[in-house]
């Protein structure tokens, strides 16, 4: 499937910027109250810095990751920056995107987040949305489903993961200082990750 990578990244950025206050409010409950503000600033830079004309998907993702690393504060910058830079390795030099390419990109992004954040599923982080999304996507692709159906399943699983984060205590980052008091609040990182997947789904559906 062919995709104009800049347009997709711009759509992700616009979604994050549109939900800046919502994401910041979520973070205010259990963190530093800066997730939305920081991510919006980072993606504004992405929109400005990523080439609108280069069709190389991997190059655009690498530039996105580097930009997020340099402009987004807190834990989100390193984690999201690493995710995009690792995903870029699966798509280097590619101008079209297959279902398997996207699966590999997701897999590398998750591994990068786990390594950088020393985190696993079940610790109230973005991985609680991303790992279920990857599992659902992979299962659908293995069963011969279309890319569209696989992305629908991924987004549904990610949304369930966001809901799951409300039921557990945080053990990573600033939220971990709250212990059981973090229960009842959804994780902002899992939320912004789910938004990202939803934009990718909608964009690839056209």
Within 10 angstroms of residue 74's Cβ, the number of other Cβ atoms is 18
Query: Up-side HSE of residue 176: CA atoms within 13 Å toward CB?
Result: 7
Neighbours of 52 (CB within 10 A): 12
Per-residue tokens: 72:
């987004």
Q: Per DSSP, what are the bridge partners of residue 96?
A: 2
Return the H-helix or E-strand segment holding 186: none
Q: Which residue in this structure is represented by tokens 């080439």?
A: 51
Which pLDDT does position 183 carry in this prediction?
78
**Dihedral (Cα; 4, 137, 102, 163), 10-degree rounding:** 70
Domain covering 5-205 in this structure, CATH number: 1.25.40.340
What is the rounded radius of gyration, in angstroms, for the C-alpha atoms of the chain?
16
* Among 169, 152, 198, 192, CA closest to 17: 192
Cα–Cα distance for residue pair 191/83, rounded to 1 Å: 15
Full pLDDT tens readout for the chain, 206 residues: 667 999 999 999 999 999 999 999 998 886 777 899 999 999 999 999 999 999 999 999 999 999 999 999 788 899 999 999 999 999 999 999 999 999 999 999 999 999 998 989 988 899 999 999 999 999 999 999 999 999 999 999 999 999 999 998 776 565 554 555 557 678 999 999 999 999 999 999 87
Who contacts 46 (Cβ-Cβ below 8 Å, separation ≥6)? 9, 13, 63, 64, 67, 68
The answer to whether 197 and 158 are in contact (CB under 8 A) is yes
Residues in Cβ contact with 53 at an 8 Å cutoff, skipping those fewer than 6 apart: 6
Q: Other CB atoms closer than 10 Å to residue 117's CB: what's the count?
A: 20
Q: Give residue 197's pLDDT.
A: 98
Length of the chain: 206
Structure tokens, 2: 């062919």
Positive or negative, the Cα torsion across 147, 149, 153, 155? positive
pLDDT of residue 180: 58
């Amino acid at each position: 499937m062919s995709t104009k990578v800049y347009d997709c990244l711009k759509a992700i950025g616009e979604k994050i910027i549109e939900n800046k206050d919502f994401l910041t409010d979520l973070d205010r409950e259990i963190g530093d109250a800066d997730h939305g503000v920081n991510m919006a600033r980072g993606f504004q830079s992405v929109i400005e810095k990523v080439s609108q004309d280069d069709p190389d998907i991997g190059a655009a993702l690498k530039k996105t990751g580097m930009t997020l690393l340099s402009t987004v504060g807190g834990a989100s910058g390193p984690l999201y920056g690493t995710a995009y830079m690792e995903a870029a390795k699966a798509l280097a030099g590619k101008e079209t995107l297959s279902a398997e390419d996207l699966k590999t990109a997701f897999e590398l992004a998750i591994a990068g987040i786990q390594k950088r954040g020393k985190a696993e599923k079940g610790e109230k982080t973005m991985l609680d949305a991303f790992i279920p999304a990857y599992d659902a996507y992979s299962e659908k692709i293995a069963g011969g489903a279309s890319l569209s159906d696989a992305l629908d399943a991924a987004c549904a699983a990610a949304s369930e993961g966001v809901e799951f984060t409300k039921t557990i205590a945080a053990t990573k980052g600033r939220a971990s200082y709250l212990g059981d008091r973090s229960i009842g609040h959804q994780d902002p990182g899992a939320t912004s990750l789910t938004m990202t997947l939803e934009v990718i789904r909608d964009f690839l559906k056209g």
